[in-house]
Amino acid sequence: MWLPRSCPAVAATLRALAVPLRAHGTRQAQRQRMLFRQLFEPESCTYTYLLADLKTKEAVLIDPVLEMAKRDAELVRELGLHLVYAANTHCHADHITGTGLLKKLLPGCCSVISKDSGALADILICEGDALEFGAFTLEARSTPGHTDGCLTYVLNDRTMAFTGDALLIRGCGRTDFQQGSPETLYHSVHEKIFTLPGDCLIYPAHDYMGQMVSTVEEERTLNPRLTQSCETFVQLMNNLNLPYPKQIDVAIPANLKCGIQDAAS
């Protein structure tokens, strides 16, 4: 049945549809403006993420690894980007961060870590602070439990969350060193990550099985650890009996100082 636009009911329906459509269009345009790359370091199975505003060229790296800093700097240069922040999700125990070296390779870039980590960096951020790159922001959510200073970075439109070692795909960060606390981690994940939209993409700091991305809904329903009660989760985490990371004795002291500043070329 044909209904003219002048019909009040049709006009009202069109007006009601226009707002979400405009919002959808704006989101699409914003996303086309963003560059996103997931990079990998095979020794510690670490993911590094590059995000950039293609219009202003401002870029952020999340969790760069020392041994890959030259690769990352080269990519930033090739793409004509300006790295504003090299940010850590936490003081890593299994590899040395690339943030210190990236500051040398790409002058003007600031290193970032949480104030609660106790580590040094140009910018020490706290819950609710935001890292701006062009038209985009990454909101820092405090998600302690794996370490005291763990942050999850959430993109402003809440379509992507960079969870570090707080939430891994079908797993989570261990809680047996660096102020680890399974109770704290359980509450962090449930209150700060599982409350994000279900289709929000989860990008962790590591994966040991070759998985690259998950969603809030998948982890909320399928994560074998975090779907348990808090009590069961605590028991499970206290009995993981994992070997210590191979690089722990060099990685933690170096990362408390923002990593190594002058790596041999």
Ligand X SMILES: N[C@@H](CCC(=O)N[C@@H](CSS)C(=O)NCC(=O)O)C(=O)O
Q: How far is the CB of 34 from ligand X (least distance, A)?
A: 27
- Return the number of the residue (55 or 246) whose C-beta is nearest ligand X: 246
Structure tokens at 44: 């510690």
CA nearest to 51, candidates 95, 23, 82: 82
Distance of CA 248 to the CA centre of its chain: 22
CA nearest to 57, candidates 83, 38, 75: 83
Q: Residue 252 and residue 7: Cα distance in Å, rounded?
A: 68
Binding of ligand X at residue 94 (CB under 6 A)? yes
Binding of ligand X at residue 83 (CB under 6 A)? no
Q: Residue 175 contacts by C-beta under 8 Å, 6 or more apart in sequence?
A: 145, 146, 181, 182, 185, 237, 238
Distance of CA 66 to the CA centre of its chain: 18
Binding of ligand X at residue 165 (CB under 6 A)? yes
Binding mask 239-258 for ligand X (x = CB under 6 A): ---x--xx------------
Strand pairing class (160-164; 167-168): unpaired
Q: Residue 135 and residue 88: Cα distance in Å, rounded?
A: 21
Binding mask 163-202 for Fe ion (x = CB under 5 A): --x-------------------------------------
Scanning residues 140 to 169, which ones bind Fe ion (CB under 5 A)? 165
Structure tokens at 226: 């975090």
Q: How far is the CB of 132 from ligand X (least distance, A)?
A: 28
Binding of Fe ion at residue 207 (CB under 5 A)? no
> Within 10 Å of residue 254's Cβ, how many Cβ atoms?
21
Binding mask 29-68 for ligand X (x = CB under 6 A): ---------------x------------------------
- Return the number of the residue (53 or 207) whose C-beta is nearest Fe ion: 207
* DSSP3 helix / strand / coil % (the chain, rounded to 5): 30, 25, 45
Q: How far is the CB of 44 from ligand X (least distance, A)?
A: 5
Contacting range for ligand X; rule: CB under 6 A; set: 14-22, 132-140, 166-174, 214-222: 166-174
Binding of Fe ion at residue 63 (CB under 5 A)? no
Between the alpha carbon of residue 47 and those of residues 20, 172, 216, 253, the distances in Å are 34, 15, 18, 21
Q: How far is the CB of 123 from ligand X (least distance, A)?
A: 22
Which partner in Fe ion, ligand X, none is near 174 (CB below 5 to 8 A by kind)? Answer: ligand X
Binding of ligand X at residue 171 (CB under 6 A)? yes
CA nearest to 181, candidates 241, 223, 238: 238
Residues in contact with Fe ion by the rule CB under 5 A: 165
Residues in contact with ligand X by the rule CB under 6 A: 44, 93-94, 165, 171, 173-174, 206, 242, 245-246
